[in-house]
Amino acid sequence: MVDERATYGVDAPGVLFGMTVGGLVELTVAVALFIIGWAIPAIVLLVGGLGLAVSAAVFAHTTFRGKFRVWDEELDALRLAGDERVLDLGCGRGLVLLKAARRVPNGKVTGIDLWSGRDQLGNTEDATLANACAEGVADRVELVTGDMRELPFESGTFDLVVSSLAVHNIPDAEGRARAIAEALRVLKPGGRLRVADFRYAKAYGEVLREWGAADVHTRDLGWRFWYGGPHARTTMLTATAPA
């Protein structure tokens, strides 16, 4: 039987795997050390193992649940009219893309991605298309294979550009700045930008200000968007294209 439910994969699967296995190994060795009477090293490993196990649980919550709830709230707050054109940069298996599609029954959503399996488990164009069918929104979803640093769209095409945990995957600051400038270029005058990412959101804001964007703000998205702990927190960058 074919499974027709949408599934959105795991972000950075190698990191979650490392945390889980590392935690289990440390806890197992800690138990062994307690048994042979090496209490101090056992306690050190116990604390380390518990820390990794909690980090893995927080990461799993974010990737399977927390980011879904946060993006529902973000998209609802935009109060879309329902006929917008939306672009998702690094859409992956379509979590944000398809949530947007549900909110624009008379519009169109476009997802662009390079489909990296290292950045998201099972990340393929076919998987995203299957999710669009499962969510009942395939009629208004377009998928493009491409690089967000060089968007293959005319300037001023989209009412809304979104991105979730994707821009930071570009390894160099110049490339990330180019992606953010591209996002602004393809927005219609007055169009809105929402980029959730960690580490570099403030730098993205500076790029947007340089290019004349209005209402540029960053805000912390809270524990539901922690990839393991507060050290890997996610920030939302919001901005409006110049009128």
- Which residues contact ligand SAM (rule: CB under 6 A)? 8, 11, 90-92, 95-96, 112-116, 119-120, 123, 147-149, 164-166, 169-170
Nearer to ligand SAM, 13 or 48 (CB): 13
Q: At its nearest, how many Å lie between ligand SAM and the CB of residue 81?
A: 24
215: helix, strand or coil = strand
Q: At its nearest, how many Å lie between ligand SAM and the CB of residue 152?
A: 11
Cβ–Cβ under 8 Å, residues 68 and 146: no
Nearer to ligand SAM, 115 or 200 (CB): 115
Q: At its nearest, how many Å lie between ligand SAM and the CB of residue 111?
A: 8
How far is the C-alpha of 62 from the C-alpha of 56, rounded, in Å? 10
Nearer to ligand SAM, 112 or 141 (CB): 112
Tokens representing 217 are 């703000």
Give the chain's radius of gyration (CA, Å). 20
Nearer to ligand SAM, 135 or 147 (CB): 147
Phi, psi of 150 (to 5 degrees): -145, 80
Q: At its nearest, how many Å lie between ligand SAM and the CB of residue 167?
A: 8
Bridge partners for 195 per DSSP: 163, 237
The closest of 114, 69, 118, 117 to 95, measured between CA atoms, is 69
